[in-house]
Amino acid sequence: MSFDDFMDSQKVVYELAGDALQTDEPSVPVFYTEGVPTNAEIPFVRLLNGNEPEENQHRRYELFCANWSKQHASISRILAAADEHMFVELDQFFRVQDTPTVFLGQPRNVSTALLNLGPNISNHSLLLDKVWTHLDREIANAIVVRLSSKVCSTVSFTMKILATQITRGLKTELDQAADEAEAESDADDAMSDADEDETQSRVFDMDSLMEKVYAKEKILIVMVEDADSFPTAILTPLVKLMWDYNNAYDWAIKLVIGMSTPFEIFQEKLPKLTVRYLQPKYFEIDNSDTAVTHIMEELLFNIHDPYNSLIFDPKLVLEFLKLKSRVSTAQFINSIKIIYMGHYFSQPLSVMWTNDFTKTKLNSYVFDVFKRLPSVRSYSQYLDKESAQHFHKLLLTDNDEDLGKLLRTSINKLILWRYEMKTFFDLLNFMQEYFLESSVWTQNLDLFRLTFQNVHLDDPDKNLDNFEFLQPLWQGISKASLHDINSFVKTVMEDEDFGPIFQESQLWKLSSKTEVSKLVSTLNNAFLQHLEDLDLNKIPFREICCVDLSAMDLLSNSFNPKIRETCIDSLLNSQNYLFNTMHSDLKQLHPEHPDIKLYKLLEPSVIELFKLSREAGVVSNVYDFYQVFKSSLPREQLEPVLQERTRQTGIQIEWTDLNWDKMTLSWFLKSLAELQTLGFVREVKNKSDTLEKLIWKDL
């Protein structure tokens, strides 16, 4: 026996049996997705496996554009109002010349606006952009300079940036127009070079620049954007320089310092003498929390145009309230837009959330979806036995008329849902004003959070203490006079909005103060019953306009995708990506197409290799790995399909054992390199013929 034969005899090869081959004629279409693209110019697909009426496809896109446009306009109004209020005090600071009395020879400190940007770091960039834009547009005769720690790495470079921006600010519109005309004309080259030299000299001559600023009666506003990140070695000489010029040129400079920490903490990083150069005034400009609160209230309590906005499930709203402290206002708005887009893109019944059905068409496939909705299937558990039996018959028959009646009834309930919820919070606010000297809860969103954060809609018995937060209100009722309590009862029962809340728990006129505890118990029971009536799970067809907690997964995949999980899913379920009609030609997805025939026998080699690696141990020999890969390939079935492919390309291949080994080895090496790039395997150190599997998650 030769040495090579001996080595071959010592190699261990494991062979994994592949899955049974699929039949040539699949029972379902080979493409993956229920949406089928069309030649329409809109980015929406036809749902229901392409059986959605084309009118509905266009209507969904039309509703999305119209409704989101209205929501965005409302959000823009809220942000504009918040910004206007944010800059009132800041405008007064810059427009009023604050010149405190100083003794002869006493230096003047630099007027400094300290901007509290808030703890939400992701929102700082947007706030600073707004401040800079406002100062540049609204403050007359001002040159606004922006300095950021990202670019101000040294003192000299900071001075260059400062001088360059001042030079640009000194150019009037007339100067800019003259420069453009001069650049376009055929002026003398020597004169042009002289002008360039003069400009470059001005960039670095700060004294000359400040003289021009003072001569033109302009104010220099130096905006230090992220002072917390600025090195002390840069910030200290910058403040000293501004102090010197401020004294030399008679109040020509104002500082704007953006920070996320209190000034007491920030000043610890500066020398005490540097802090004494400043004449600070503190400004709270972080209005993102207030703006987001108003946006959520607008979305949640929009009772005037119910068709123009989707209904957010209370649990989803609570998650949004947690999210608002971690993301910027822009990302918060984008999250809402993604939810709207995802709903109208993937929900074929979203065309029903409108008061205009002239552009909507119903067919048997749409009615079939009606019967299969989870909310419709679970609706019977909220009915009595006789009603449940009638409902089950409705689902088993083709009685579209009765189904349409149920649909109209459900849509009316969905329209009234927001109104009933807002009425409930209006009642709580009315009770605050009536029984308490000052309001404990100032916003409906606070009441919403306290009401729904611990609610158990699936088990009402656990909700008995849900309104424990109303104890100040119950105490206020106990302290009120009998006349005031009876006056309240009369007002509530006669009110057309508040009265229906007490249909099952009727209020009555009290004859003595001993009945107050019973009245409080009745109020609590009425609130619990109303909370149960607000359960969206009891309304069939809620999928038409309701967005539940699953939308958070959509947001996570959109803004913070899990790369590794997505990569593994694409390797294990390649048909979801390779045969997706959104980016594949349907003509090429025919079962007789060579690519489809090849896919049934062999997925892309990197996928085959990844599946084998999952069955292997932590450490594997490269040669053994290759032998297992080669043995797992159905050569007898693959060769005819590959021959057909090669004939189409005009390449002639002789199918010998040597050529087969070369081809499979090239597949193996290419796929192995891809797996290494993806981080699934790596070569063992000092052992090039051994592979180690990386088994940890979320790499």
Can you give 391-417 as a three-state secondary structure string? HHHHHHCCCHHHHHHHHHHHHHHHHHH
Note the pTM of the prediction, 2 decimals. 0.78
Asked if residue 639 lies in contact with residue 603, where contact means CB atoms within 8 angstroms, the answer is no
**b or e along 85-121 (b: 16 or more beta carbons within 10 Å of the residue's beta carbon)?**
ebbeebeebbeeeeeeeeeeeeebbbbbbbbbbbebe
Q: What would the DSSP string read from start to end of 440-455?
A: S---HHHHHHHHHTT-
Q: Output the pLDDT for position 367.
A: 86
Q: Is 480 left (phi over 0), alpha (psi -120 to 50) or beta?
A: beta
Give the span between the Cα atoms of 274 and 239, in whole angstroms. 7
Q: Which residue has the higher pLDDT, 33 or 660?
A: 660
Q: Which residue has the higher pLDDT, 98 or 374?
A: 374
Burial of residue 213, with CB atoms counted within 10 A of its CB: 0-12 exposed, 13-18 middle, 19 or more buried: buried
Instruction: Give φ, ψ of 211 to 5 degrees.
Output: -65, -40
Burial of residue 275, with CB atoms counted within 10 A of its CB: 0-12 exposed, 13-18 middle, 19 or more buried: middle
What does the pLDDT look like over 70-117, one tens digit per residue?
A: 999 999 999 888 888 888 888 888 877 655 555 555 678 888 999 988
Q: With bands split at pLDDT 50, 70 and 90, how would you rate the model's confidence at 11?
A: low
What does the pLDDT look like over 579-635, one tens digit per residue?
A: 766 556 656 667 777 777 788 888 888 999 998 988 888 888 899 999 999 999 998
Q: Output the pLDDT for position 193.
A: 45
* pLDDT surpasses 50 at 314: yes
Q: Output the pLDDT for position 587.
A: 61
Domain formed by 88-185+210-284, architecture: 3-Layer(aba) Sandwich (3.40)
Query: Mean pLDDT for the chain?
Result: 83
* pLDDT surpasses 80 at 427: yes
What does the pLDDT look like over 408-422, one tens digit per residue?
A: 999 999 999 999 999
Q: With bands split at pLDDT 50, 70 and 90, how would you rate the model's confidence at 2?
A: low
Half-sphere exposure of 494 (CA within 13 A, CB side): 7
Of all residues in the chain, the percent with pLDDT exceeding 70 is: 86
Give the span between the Cα atoms of 330 and 122, in whole angstroms. 10
* pLDDT surpasses 90 at 395: no
Q: Output the pLDDT for position 5.
A: 61
Give the span between the Cα atoms of 522 and 427, in whole angstroms. 15
Asked if residue 51 lies in contact with residue 31, where contact means CB atoms within 8 angstroms, the answer is no
Q: Output the pLDDT for position 201.
A: 42
DSSP conformational letter for 438: S
* pLDDT surpasses 70 at 134: yes
Half-sphere exposure of 498 (CA within 13 A, CB side): 17
What does the pLDDT look like over 183-216, one tens digit per residue?
A: 445 434 433 443 444 434 444 578 888 888 888 8
Q: Give domain limits for the chain.
A: 88-185+210-284, 416-538, 574-693
Q: Which two tokens stand for residue 254?
A: 């104002």
Q: What is the Cα gyration radius of the chain?
A: 36
Q: Output the pLDDT for position 178.
A: 52
343: closest CA among 625, 550, 49? 550
Q: Which two tokens stand for residue 427?
A: 């009642």
Q: Output the pLDDT for position 463.
A: 81
Of all residues in the chain, the percent with pLDDT exceeding 90 is: 31
Asked if residue 339 lies in contact with residue 67, where contact means CB atoms within 8 angstroms, the answer is no
Q: Which residue has the higher pLDDT, 432 or 175?
A: 432
Q: Which residue has the tokens 């009290």?
A: 510
* pLDDT surpasses 60 at 398: yes
- The pairing of strands 219-224 and 253-259 is parallel
Distances (CA, A) of 21 to 26, 94, 117, 598, 666: 11, 78, 62, 12, 24
Strand partners, 312: 547
Q: Which two tokens stand for residue 615?
A: 């069955």
Give the span between the Cα atoms of 367 and 360, in whole angstroms. 13
Burial of residue 4, with CB atoms counted within 10 A of its CB: 0-12 exposed, 13-18 middle, 19 or more buried: exposed
Instruction: Give φ, ψ of 192 to 5 degrees.
Output: -65, -40
